[in-house]
Amino acid sequence: FDPVSIRKTAKQLQLSTDSSYRYERGIDPCNVKRVAEYAIAMILEIAGGTVETAEAWGRMPTSPKIVTLRPKRVNAVLGSSISASEMVRQLEKICIKAVSQGAVSNDVDQIAFSVPSHRVDIEQEIDLIEEVARLYGYNNLEPSSAMVSSYPVSRKVPEYFPDYLRNIMIGLNFREALTNPLIRKAEASLFGDRQVSVLNPISEELEVLRPSLAPSLLRIVGHNIRHANRDLRLFEVAHGFETVLEEERQGTEPLAGYRERELLSMVITGSRSPRSWNQTAETVDFYDLRGAVEMLLEKLNLLDKSALNIYNESTIGIEITSAKSGNGLALKAGTVQQVGKEVLDAFDLDQEVFLAELDVSVLERCFEPGVTYEPPLKFPVVERDLSFALPRHIPAQRLVDLAMQSDRLVRSVRIFDVFDRGEAGSGDKAERSVAISLELADRTGTMNEETINAVVQKVSDNAKRELGAEIRQV
């Protein structure tokens, strides 16, 4: 029954049995004779017969195993203040008895313990320390500061929010740019007509304060392209400036006629990935930048509160609805667009460039650092697809918002197809066909067909009443 010998034999024969699995872990040597006697008694009782001869091989241990324990070492390892007498009392509960002579005191250097033969796993002092910890109770031990594993209640956000944005953008594989807030008036006029002019410009290239970060970033893009660096992913967090209309001014102070906003702008152009022999070269497109913006919103816990509205063929707007915005109002956070040919020609750019610009104050105002855990659903999720014919002038996002608000069982709404028929302003009826996918979920039980149909009907009725949308018959 030597564990080492049994282990070697089982490995050599490549034969693992229940017996080898048991005996590899050791057995009580002092219990072998008693167990054999029990087995013989059962055989005689069940099958009858007599015992002719009985022989024994080997001999049992003559003395129990002695292991010493140092109380000071126990407290040093466990970070506790357990008394020596308490250690002895706990170990005696599992038949590990102290054999030291005299009374046990807290000042004793070490205590010798007699280990019962059935505890083949106790061989060293550290094994006794583990038994003390188990018997004393792990919950009663003070956790060490070096070993504590804790999770923060909320994310740590730096006091200066723009730095937090910079770290996120760098993590999204963008490079930061730093530009001069003074630019040419001709460049500024491409992005707004309310420029803040300098009274005494030092050169014609530094005439006005930039209304947007886009002109500065596009100049950097042009400079890099002319120097054979065509693959760029740049961002900048800085301030934009513009004048305020008379009717919008608040106060009579001189500075009331000007507005300063902190903006986050990003541009991408060129190849999607570095040139390589094992993959085809692909250029970035509108959806690469849109994906980067959505990843940013996801990092800020704002993606599920954001809506992307199509402004025109090359621009979408971002709106964020948050409880902090008050009354559930949607705040305009920025735009994602493909830079038009006129602007590309103005900056002498010969390849497609995609630009996004977000209002940092809106992001900071709506940002929610707390993460709320939502347990997975226990009941099946149901999906239903609906196709609506909308008037051309109604944004598809309004249909999505209306469907989300129709019933509490609507978990999510996704647009998977949009088709425009007829020209806007023409004699024909201009309409937009929008196909949406509804995801329905109930945390209280499995939905039946009647419940599902009622929700779908409610979405259809609301769309018809509020938007004039009709279900398309397929």
Provide mean pLDDT across the span 20-46. 87
User: Does residue 262 have a pLDDT over 80?
Assistant: yes
Over range 372-385, report the average pLDDT: 86
pLDDT band for 26, please (50, 70, 90 cuts).
Answer: confident
Q: Is the pLDDT of residue 94 over 80?
A: yes
Query: Model's pTM, two decimal places?
Result: 0.58
Which numeric CATH code is attached to 377-474? 3.30.70.380
Is the model's pLDDT at 303 over the cut of 50?
yes
Average pLDDT of span 377-385: 90
Mean pLDDT along residues 201-221: 90
Phi–psi pair at 36, nearest 5 degrees: -65, -40
Is 70 exceeded by the pLDDT of residue 197?
yes
| CA–CA separation, 225 and 233 (whole Å) | 13
Nearest to 421 by CA among 412, 413, 407, 431: 431
Measure the CA angle with vertex 75, ends 70 and 79; round to 5°.
155
Which of 222, 170, 183, 258 is CA-nearest to residue 349? 222
What pLDDT is attached to residue 249? 82
- Residue 264: both structure tokens together: 């986050």
Are the CB atoms for 43 and 49 separated by under 8 Å? Answer: yes
Domain 63-144 has CATH 3.30.56.10: yes
372 against 305, higher pLDDT? 305
- Residue range(s) occupied by CATH 3.30.56.10 in the chain: 63-144
- Fold annotation for 157-372: BirA Bifunctional Protein; domain 2 (3.30.930)
Give the number of other Cβ atoms within 10 Å of residue 122's Cβ. 18
| Predicted confidence (pLDDT) per residue in 324-344, tens digit | 655 667 889 999 999 999 999
pLDDT at 422: 67
Q: Tell me the β-bridge partners of 384.
A: 438
Average pLDDT estimate for 415-426: 72
pLDDT at residue number 431:
82
pLDDT of 400 > 90? The answer is no
Tokens of 192: 């707004």
* Rounded Cα–Cα distance for residues 335 and 357 (Å): 6
Distance CA 403, CA 466 (A): 11
Spatial distance between the Cα atoms of 407 and 440, rounded to a whole number of angstroms:
9
Over 50: is that where the pLDDT of 55 sits? yes
pLDDT over 50 (residue 285): yes
- What pLDDT, on a 0 to 100 scale, did the predictor assign at position 160? 81
Phi, psi of 4 (to 5 degrees): -65, -45
Q: Largest Cα–Cα distance in the chain?
A: 123
Q: Which residue has the higher pLDDT, 241 or 279?
A: 241
* The token pair that represents 187 in the structure block: 């460049």
**Is residue 17 predicted with pLDDT exceeding 60?**
yes
What would the mean pLDDT of 357-372 be, rounded to a whole number? 86
Residue type, 230: R
What is the C-alpha to C-alpha distance for residues 289 and 296, in angstroms, rounded to an integer? Answer: 11
pLDDT surpasses 70 at 429: no
pLDDT at 105 over 90: no
For residue 351, give every residue at least 6 positions away whose Cβ sits within 8 Å of its Cβ, in sequence order, or none: 225, 230, 269, 270, 283
User: Start-end ranges of CATH 3.30.930.10 in the chain?
Assistant: 157-372
Q: What is the per-residue pLDDT for 427?
A: 45
* Mean of per-residue pLDDT scores for the chain: 85
What percentage of the chain has pLDDT greater than the value 70? Answer: 91
Where are the domain boundaries for CATH 3.30.70.380 in the chain?
377-474
